[in-house]
Amino acid sequence: MAPVLVTRRLALRQFGASDVDNLAAPDGDPEVMRFLDSRTTSRTEIATHPPPVPGIPRAA
């Protein structure tokens, strides 16, 4: 998947299958999520419905 926005230090792109473990770790931790959201998210839910990246269209 090609980046959508690239600078010298950052490449923004839509989340993919290779990102699931990195997203699931903090999203499944109640101590982290109490500051961000009211609920945790399972690895399966993240793999099935990855979170959107504002301003970047989802892959078809």
Dump pLDDT digits (tens) for 13-44: 888 888 999 988 988 899 988 888 778 888 99
| Strand ranges inside the chain, DSSP E | 5-6, 11-12
Domain membership of residue 42 (yes or no) is: yes
DSSP 8-state secondary structure symbol assigned to residue 55? T
Report the number of distinct structural domains present in the chain.
Answer: 1
pLDDT the model gives residue 13: 83
Residue 56 belongs to some domain of the structure: no
Instruction: Give the pLDDT score at 60.
Output: 54
How far, CA to CA in Å, does 53 sit from each of 6, 25, 28, 31, 59?
Answer: 14, 18, 19, 23, 11
Whose CA is closest to 51, among 33, 35, 27, 34? 27
User: Looking at the whole model, is its pTM more than 0.85?
Assistant: no
Residue 60, in any domain of the structure: no
Does residue 44 fall inside a structural domain?
yes
Asked whether residue 14 is assigned to any structural domain, the reply reads: yes
Tell me if 58 is assigned to some domain: no
Residues spanned by the domain of 36: 5-48
Query: Do the domain assignments include residue 37?
Result: yes
